[in-house]
Each structure stands twice: as structure tokens, then as C-alpha cells.
Amino acid sequence: MTSSSPILSAFKQALSEAWAGGAGLMLPLGFFAGTTALVPFSVGSEAELLSRIGPGVLWLALALASFVTLERVFQADLEDGALDIWVQEDASISMIAVAKTLAHWLISGFPLVLLAPVFAFILQGSMQDLLTTMLAYGLGGLTFFLWGGVAAALSASVARAGLLIALIALPFYVPALIFGVQTVNDGLEGASFLFLSASALFALGVTPAAMGAALRLAAD
């Protein structure tokens, strides 16, 4: 039977790593907020224009902000030998990888979901559909981190792999980006929300095995 102890330990360790020095929260938040604040200076402050491009800008900022902390998700484990121990454990390395990725999402990604309505309001978005906005960004952000976790696992043995992670993960971000923007525009009753949910479920089903396989290759 699979033991949950290594999975729980990896989750707690990842929470500590992600929170270390406050960088796990402040860097993605700074990137997200900075992008939002700079857009009116670059395209103008016309309310109608900002309202039209706002959802796309925020979704792109959310996708790019996910890369800020992904580089260090698995690299330290490979360097200190923890990855070799996980491969030998009874617990599934795929579940350990997912636990670490979810921990980084909780620290680095979930706060952006909570603040997304505020940033949307800055770009002249509506504050009436808070549930729609937060649910859409929650599903999209989780999808981004799961695919980003696969890219981080594939590049765990590469120093300064931030650009490589982005190149690997960005093509998998596209469906969530497209359906996420449409969900914000159309609401939860549109077909785009179903496709966004399907993208998140597909990522949940596929990425654990992909991360596990990539980490086994890195450990060999």
C-alpha cells in the first residue's frame, strides 16, 4: 500500500521552500501587479479599451507569473539527494511531484487568484462577477502550475532553466489561456467554462505521470 508519509513530508518541505524569504509570494505578486499597473501607461487610460483588453492582459500576466518560482521546485531535491530517496520509496514519485507543485501553487499562485478581481477592476473590469473571475483564475492558475511542474521536472538537471521551462510549458498553456479569457467574458454559463474545466481535469490526469517519469530520468 502506498504510504502517505513521504508525500506529506514533501508537501510540507515544498511549502517551506516556496515561502522562504517571502520570495515565493512577493515575486509572482510583484510581476502580476507590475504588469497590471504598466498597461494603462502603454496603451492609454481609455476605459473602453482597458475593459476590452483587460482579461487577456491579466491571463497572460498570470501565465508568465507562474514561471517565477517553478525553476526551484525540483532542482534542490536533485542536488541534495532527496530525489534519489523518493525514487526508492514505496510512495509514488508522481504523487510526491504533484504535492510539491501544489504547495508552490498555494504559496505563489493562489494569492494571485484572490487578488485577481482587484487587478481586473484596475483595468476597468466588472466587480460584479467575483465568483466567475476567481473560479476561472483558480482553474487556469492550477493548470499553469501543473504543466509548469512537468517542464520543471524535465529541466531539473539544467542550471538556470527558467527560459527552458517557459519554452516547454508555454504551448500547453494556450488552451487554458484561450478558454480562461472567454470564461471571464462569457461567465460560467458559457461553453468556454466547460472547456477550461476540461483543460484543468486533463492536466490533473496527465501531468502526475509525466512529472514522475521526468524525475525518474533525472535521478538516473
Using the predicted structure, report yes or no on whether residue 18 has a pLDDT greater than 90.
no
Which grid cell is 3? 504510504
Q: Please state the three-class secondary structure of 7-58 as a single string.
A: HHHHHHHHHHHHHHHHHHHHHHHHHHHHHHHHHHHHHCCCHHHHHHHHHHHH
Q: What DSSP designation does 109 have? A: I
| Residue 24 pLDDT class (50, 70, 90 cuts) | low
The residue-averaged pLDDT of 117-132 equals 72
Tell me phi and psi for residue 19, to 5 degrees. Answer: -90, -15
Residue among 172, 112, 160 nearest 136 (CA):
112
Q: What pTM does this model have? A: 0.87
Cβ atoms of 137 and 120 within 8 Å: the answer is: no
Query: Quick one: CA torsion of 194, 142, 90, 87, rounded to 10 degrees?
Result: 120
Report phi then psi at 35, rounded to 5: -60, -45
What is the C-alpha separation between 184 and 98, in angstroms, rounded? Answer: 27
Domain boundaries, the chain: 5-219
User: What's the rounded Cα separation, in Å, for the pair 63 and 79?
Assistant: 27
| CA dist 50 → 56, 124, 166 (Å) | 10, 6, 27
The region of weakest confidence among 24-33, 148-157, 189-198 is 24-33
Structure-block grid coordinates of residue 161: 532553466
Q: What is the mean pLDDT of residues 81-101?
A: 78
Grid coordinates of 160: 538556470
Task: Give the confidence band of 174 by pLDDT, cuts at 50, 70, 90.
Answer: very high
